[in-house]
Structure 1
């Protein structure tokens, strides 16, 4: 039985759900990079980076090419870079909405000089 498309999409997004993988995809969206370049950009142990690159490679999102002792990684196609740009646009729009809401809330905030509130009292025991 075939996996429903929505389930396949959920698995795809779950596979993307790691900060290091997202950072790798962002960097590779700029240009192919050798592992040493990725290590210089991402604060992570080499073994952990290798593990995350393996996940992306097995998923078919990145490709690797060995050049002597160096391994260069690249995005498998332009769609992944498009997805990263789309995610950035969506997050930007969400944050702008939050900023606008925050500004509206701050504009509605009453001044702290409201004398109609009862003053806090402290008894001799400090309560």
Structure 2
């Protein structure tokens, strides 16, 4: 029985679920990089980068090629850059909504903290 599409999508999002892997993909969306270039740019241990590259390779998001003693990585599709751009826009929109909610909550808090001002009583007409 083939793997359901929703499972394949979940597997893709799992591969994207690590900040270091996202950073690696952002670099590789700019251009192909060698492992040495990525190590210098990202500033992690070689073993940590290697682990993350293996996950990305396993998910089919990056490919590698060897040139002499250097290994170069690149994204397998320009759609990876599109996906990261959409994720950024979505996060920005969601943060905007959360900022509006926070602003509303703060305004309510300020209103609740202010003492209620007594309304002046109207003088009743003399009988």
Q: Aligning the two structures, in what range does the TM-score lie when normalised by the shorter sequence?
A: 0.7 to 0.9
Q: Deviations over 1:75-117 (max 9, x none)?
A: 001111111111101100011111111122222332697568x
Between structure 1 and structure 2, the one with the greater Rg is 2
Over aligned residue pairs, what C-alpha RMSD do you find?
Answer: 1.9
- Aligned residue for 1:109, secondary structure, equals helix
In the alignment, structure 1 residue 17 sits paired with structure 2 residue 17: yes
Distance in 2 separating the partners of 1:43 and 1:64: 20
Structure 2: gaps spanning 5 or more residues:
117-127
Q: Deviations over 1:59-79 (max 9, x none)?
A: 221111212222111100111
CA distance in 1, matches of 2:103, 2:115: 25
User: What aligned pairs does 1:1-127 form with structure 2 within 5 A after superposition?
Assistant: 1-110=1-110, 114=114
What TM-score results when the alignment is normalised by the length of structure 2? 0.81
1:122 maps to none
Q: Which runs of 4+ in 1 moved over 6 A?
A: none
In structure 2, how many angstroms separate the alpha carbons of the residues matched to 1:110 and 1:48? 48
Aligned with 2:60: secondary structure?
A: coil
